[in-house]
Amino acid sequence: MNNEAIITASDLKRHYKIRTGGFFSKPSLLKALDGVSFTINGGKTLAVVGESGCGKTTLARLVTMIEQPTSGCLEINGISGTTRSEREKRELHKLVQIVFQDPYGSLNPRKKIGAILEEPLIINTALTASERHEAAREMLAKVGLTREQYNRYPHMFSGGQRQRIAIARALMLKPALVVADEPVSALDVSVQAQALNLLKDLQDEMNLAYLFISHDLGVVRHISDDLLVMYLGSPVEQGRKTDIFRMPIHPYTRALMGSIPSVNKNMRRKRVRLTGEIPSPLNPPSGCAFHKRCVFMSEVCTVQRPELRLVEDRLAACHHAEKVAAIPF
């Protein structure tokens, strides 16, 4: 099994110029993504978490090459994400697929499931019609549906079944990396676990790398190997899931972890209450972007932006990470 790096991102940034006044006003700079680096190996999952507006979806758009980064490097299976070669671009689009949040809106209601699954093969391969039919039926069986459902329309399936179809479509080209953008948040809680177990089983079988985007830390705890916590476009804590869940050392991560509900009294964490609203990304605070909501804030936090640095067993962007780490959680 190949467990080498599938995707490597280095200092990815995506900035937008936005006019908030009239046509002749000076545009403001929106730093939707501001310096993200990571590597995902085959068979592994990197989960990206944070509140709305933290840059999760922008990162997904860069990785799936819907948008190009303002700066930084992105490589997938050794191919640059900014390549100008048409042949390499076609190869990249086969290597990276995405599963969207909404299983209702991501499937064409006018097409039968078989046609939806075969469409990527028609565009990207030279398979015959009979070979495409067989590949689609095999993929239906792989995601827990029956081959007989090939000729049905999306409205004839439940939400959980539609998400299985969306997963099947993403896997038709046998990608190396799947970007899962909140893939279970639109599903009933009763079927979320089934979808997550399916994703895990498919990962083990096909050695897939996942970039899993979510705001639900309970889901992330179940499926991820590594964790990237983001705030206002920048990473604040990054490392192995087990280390971060055991002892988060960035105040923002502690606040997120403290919000996870648990029926087990022994697993309940100390709740860290956040005060204030998320700052506007068009006008972020000076220094640490989190300092106005942080109980550990000091003068240095207001003037100097903390760099992502190694603290104990993970990366953290906090001037007081050692102090936070010394406090039981």
Residue 85 clears pLDDT 70, i.e. is over it: yes
- Between the ranges 52-56, 170-174, 186-190, where is the mean pLDDT highest? 170-174
Average pLDDT, the chain: 89
C-alpha distance from residue 159 to each of 168, 190, 242, 282 (Å): 14, 11, 31, 37
| Dihedral (CA of 104, 108, 114, 120) sign | negative
Beta bridge partners of 229: 49, 237
Asked if the model's pLDDT at residue 261 lies above 60, the reply is: no
Write down the pLDDT at residue 135. Answer: 95
Specify the pLDDT at position 31. 92
Q: How far is Cα 227 from Cα 238, in angstroms, rounded to an integer?
A: 6
Asked whether residue 66 carries a pLDDT value surpassing 60, the answer given is yes
Mean pLDDT of 40-64: 93
How high is the pLDDT of residue 263?
A: 45
pLDDT of residue 128: 94
Task: Please give the span between the terminal C-alpha atoms of the chain, in angstroms, as a whole number.
Answer: 38
Q: What is the pLDDT of residue 64?
A: 93
CA angle (262 as vertex; 260, 263 as ends), nearest 5? 165
> What's the confidence (pLDDT) of residue 175?
95
* pLDDT > 90? residue 103: no
Query: One-letter amino acid identity for 229?
Result: V
Three-state DSSP at 228 gives: strand
- Average pLDDT of 317-326? 93
Give residue-wise pLDDT tens across range 270-287: 666 677 778 888 888 899
Confidence (pLDDT) at 164:
93
Give strand pairing partners of 31: 15
**Torsion on CA atoms 66, 67, 71, 76, rounded to nearest 10:** 10
Cα dist. 7→64, 73, 80, 195, 287 in Å? 11, 11, 10, 24, 31
Q: φ and ψ at 217, to 5 degrees?
A: -70, -25
